[in-house]
Amino acid sequence: MENLLQICPAKSLTKQKSKPLKIFLSHCGEDKDIVGTINSVVHSIVQDCEIYIAEREYIGQPLTKKLKEEAIDSNAMLIVWTKNAKEKSCPIISFEAGMAWANHKPIFILKEESAGFDDKKEWFYPQLTDYAEVKDIKNEDEVKQALSKFNFAECVNPLCFCYPQNWTELEGGARNSEVIDSDGVIKLISGFNGILDFVIGNHSNRLIRGIRIILRFSNEITIDYTEGGTNGVQQNEPHAIRRMDDHTIRVMWDIIISDEHWARGLRLIVNNNITKEINSSIDVTIQAERHKKREINIPLLISPQRNPTT
């Protein structure tokens, strides 16, 4: 009987780079001169950082939609809280903070000493991850000292997870390209029975311990996996996999070293009684020692069997 779990180092992905840390900078439009200074200061103290400076006018799509997309795509939010922000931009900054909070993003505030908080209006104040206060927010040295206390690096979980479309190092690796399109959508049909390869990697410059990854598939998919290998004997491998139910597994590592990636092959069986298209996802939760939980949703489309052409 074929071994349903395959494993190998994914060396072809070791050059893959993670996205830089992205910080959503929320501010009052009248503080553009201050924002320019803060932008420079953050880049000077945080390596490999991208800053999205929220603008208030967009052409081609609603403002709120754009701000929501950018807030979700960011790792953290930095609010510049000045007297201008309090008096003129509180509603929009509150909206942006709400997007960050609803999507479990850390919220930092650089606060001008003379700008107070109103607990009834600025609801987000108790939700802060951290804040720093400066007497003169236009003083670059004072701003740099204040922002240096924020540990933005902790906002990024350096573990990656993906179902790559093209996979060449693993024997039989072409199987992914048959069901994954260029946008990363996994497209399966009713009755599908095959192995797909997923990859887990560490993009940081240090080893990571205590990795726990949970994969949840839709109820239309059954995971065909026997703990300990098909012969029931635990293999001598740097991981452990446990079935939580027919649609959920937990993958565990003690250690993944710096810039190392591993591939897994797992057999999926799709219900053969599907009669209409189902838009679903593979929900992935990644946790590790010293790193906050990260959640990834991989789009999945399940279609009924096509009738043969007569």
Give the start-to-end residue ranges of the domains of the chain: 6-16+157-303, 21-155
CATH for 6-16+157-303, among 3.40.50.620, 2.60.40.10, 3.40.50.300, 2.170.150.70?
2.60.40.10
The mean pLDDT of the chain is 78
- pTM here? 0.55
Q: How many CB atoms lie within 10 A of CB 143?
A: 22
User: What pLDDT does 188 receive?
Assistant: 95
Pairing of strands 221-224, 291-303: unpaired
3-state helix, strand, coil in the chain (%, to 5): 25, 35, 40
Distance CA 189, CA 306 (A): 9
User: What pLDDT does 230 receive?
Assistant: 41
Is the model's pLDDT at 5 over the cut of 60? Answer: no
The domain defined by 21-155 folds into Rossmann fold (3.40.50)
Pairing of strands 291-303, 278-288: antiparallel
Confidence bin at 12 (pLDDT 50/70/90) = very low
Confidence bin at 302 (pLDDT 50/70/90) = very high
Helix 63-73 crosses helix 90-102 at what angle (to 10 degrees)? 40
Is the model's pLDDT at 300 over the cut of 90? Answer: yes
Contact between 222 and 280 (Cβ < 8 Å): no
The torsion angles phi and psi of 152, rounded to 5 degrees, stand at -65, -30
User: What pLDDT does 56 receive?
Assistant: 54
Q: Using the 8-state DSSP alphabet, how is residue 226 labeled?
A: -
Is the model's pLDDT at 91 over the cut of 90? Answer: no
Distance CA 296, CA 285 (A): 6
Least confidently predicted of 25-29, 126-130, 164-168, 226-230: 226-230
User: HEC states along 64-120?
Assistant: HHHHHHHHHHCCEEEEEECHHHHHHCHHHHHHHHHHHHHCCCCEEEEEECCCCCCCC
